């Protein structure tokens, strides 16, 4: 069984996924974006 915390977070993850699909015309771009280095976090 999922905790209430996990149940609260699931819609956020789904919204992020949906919005990445809106921002990037190709789904492959949306899937790659979270794995790209980020200068704000010293490239992590």
pLDDT digits (tens, 9 = 90+) for 23-41: 998 999 999 998 999 888 8
In a domain, 11, yes or no: yes
Q: What is the pLDDT of residue 42?
A: 86
Report yes or no: 34 and 25 within 8 Å, Cβ to Cβ.
no
In a domain, 41, yes or no: no
Average pLDDT over residues 7-32: 94
Question: What is the count of structural domains for the chain?
Answer: 1
DSSP string, 1-44: ---HHHHHHHHHHHHHHHHHHHHSSSHHHHHHGGGS--GGGTT-
Average pLDDT over residues 12-29: 94
Q: Which residue has the tokens 């990037």?
A: 24
In a domain, 29, yes or no: yes
Domain extent for 29: 4-33
Length of the chain: 44
In a domain, 17, yes or no: yes
Average pLDDT over residues 4-23: 95
């Amino acid at each position: 069984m999922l905790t209430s915390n996990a149940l609260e977070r699931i819609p956020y993850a789904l919204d992020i996924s949906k919005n990445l699909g809106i921002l990037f015309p190709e789904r492959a771009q949306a899937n790659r974006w979270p794995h790209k280095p980020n200068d704000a976090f010293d490239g992590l």
